[in-house]
Structures are given as C-alpha cells and as structure tokens.
Homo-oligomer: A and B are copies of this chain.
Amino acid sequence: MTTVNEKVLLERRPRRGRPRSEAAEQAIVEAVLNLLGQGSSLAALSIEGIAAEAGVGKATIYRRWANKDALLLDVLQRAEEPEPTLAGDSVRDDLVASLEFLRRTALARRSRTSLAVFTAELRALPELHRAYHAQVIEPRRARMRDLLARGVALGEIRDDIDLDLLGELIVGPMLSRTLLRPEAPLDDPTLSATIVDTVLQGVAARKAVRH
C-alpha cells in the first residue's frame, strides 16, 4: 500500500496496437464489488484474488491502476450513486428523499457491506480514508446541514437544536439498522418517511393535539 496519487488511473492511451479491453476493466470493478459483497474486508482484498475473480491477469490490473489503493479508491468512487435531486417544496419531503437515498445505498447488498467496511476499515488505510471522507462523506453532510438549516429558516424545524445533532438524529437510525442489525429489513420503502416523521413528531406519548 503506497501513496494514492491525485491521478488515480493511468491514462496514456496509445493509438496503435490492440486497444484495452473495456470488458476486462468492467470485470475487474465487478470483481471487487463481488468480493466485498461476499463479505470480504477491504484490507483482505488482494490483487491476486481480484484477478482470479475477474478472470483476468494481474498485469491487466496493473496496466490500469498504479497499485491496490488506486484501484480500490477508484472502485469506491464509481460505486457511489448520485445524490438525489431535492424538490425543495417541503423540508420534510427532502429529508425523506435524502434518507431514502441512504436506504437504497445501504440496501444494495454490495453497498451495504461496503458501508460497514468503509466506516471502520478505512481507518486503517489512511490515504484511502482521507480521500473518501473528503470526496464522499463531507459533501453529503454539508448537503444535510444546508437542508436542515433551510428547515429551521422556514419554521419547519425547531431553532434550538444543533444542526449536526439534527443530522445525526435523522441519519443515525438508518445507520444503526444497517450496521448493527445485518438481518434487519431494509427494503421497506416507507422506512425513511417513518423515521423522519417520528423524529419530527417525537416519541413521547402526548395528551395534547399535535398541531
């Protein structure tokens, strides 16, 4: 594991000679996701194992990526779904949409494993961790902060709660279910709305009316 360069892929593409196989490249990326989906840890992934899973020679991998870190970072980035576009009509609805995105990401079997793998294992791979955090986690949290701040400004959300804590109240339950209960149902499309509405309304029993 050496340094991850800014430019991850080797991109010199000569015009003469046999072109690189797009199929091989896809097979390599697929193989990494397959192995992660089968429960492999990030650190346990080996180039030789990936090559075998992909039905590819090691040289075919090293022709495209400089080293293992570069390959893994590239695959992790490709695996990210695009963030959802938020309608903006209601902060509540946008929160549900954001959480739905997280749920679907977690639902995909591969990503589900990946999420768990990322959060902890990346810690042991500092270069990878730094890059992934800066390029994926942090922008996502910034979006959530903006959304919640809009909710406060519009009067949908109490203004006496720390914005970071608010985000954790929303995201935490989905994270808890994904990480701590690997067997828990995650395919209920109403789960996100239930979480958001429950966090908004509160859990305490009430005698008074809600509005």
Tell me, yes or no, whether A79 is within 8 Å of chain B by CB: no
> Which of A4-12, A37-45, A47-55, A63-71 lies at the interface?
A37-45
Asked if A176 and B166 make an inter-chain contact with CB atoms under 8 angstroms apart, the answer reads no
Write the chain B residue with the least CB distance to A204.
B200
Tell me, yes or no, whether A107 is within 8 Å of chain B by CB: no
> Which of A17-25, A26-34, A80-88, A116-124 lies at the interface?
A116-124
Contact with B along A166-182 (1 / 0, CB 8 A): 11110111111101111
Asked if A198 and B119 make an inter-chain contact with CB atoms under 8 angstroms apart, the answer reads no
Write the chain B residue with the least CB distance to A43.
B43
Write the chain B residue with the least CB distance to A113.
B123
In the complex the two chains form, what is the Cα distance from A155 to B179 in whole Å?
A: 30
Interface residues in A147-181 (C-beta closer than 8 Å to B): 155-159, 161, 164-169, 171-177, 179-181
Min CB–CB distance A24 → chain B (angstroms)? 27
Total copies of this chain within the assembly: 2
Min CB–CB distance A90 → chain B (angstroms)? 12
- Chain B residues within an 8 Å CB radius of A171: 172, 176, 180
- Chain B residues within an 8 Å CB radius of A210: 208
In the complex the two chains form, what is the Cα distance from A29 to B41 in whole Å?
A: 24
Which secondary structure dominates chain A's binding surface? helix
- Chain B residues within an 8 Å CB radius of A194: 165
Q: Which of B116, B126, B203 contacts A120 (CB 8 A)?
A: B116
In the complex the two chains form, what is the Cα distance from A43 to B80 in whole Å?
A: 25
In the complex the two chains form, what is the Cα distance from A201 to B201 in whole Å?
A: 7
Tell me, yes or no, whether A134 is within 8 Å of chain B by CB: no
Asked if B169 and A198 make an inter-chain contact with CB atoms under 8 angstroms apart, the answer reads yes
Asked if A203 and B203 make an inter-chain contact with CB atoms under 8 angstroms apart, the answer reads no
Tell me, yes or no, whether A209 is within 8 Å of chain B by CB: yes
Asked if B39 and A123 make an inter-chain contact with CB atoms under 8 angstroms apart, the answer reads yes
The interface of chain A, by Cβ under 8 A from chain B, is: 39-41, 43-44, 113, 116-121, 123-124, 126, 137, 141, 155-159, 161, 164-169, 171-177, 179-182, 184, 194-195, 198-211
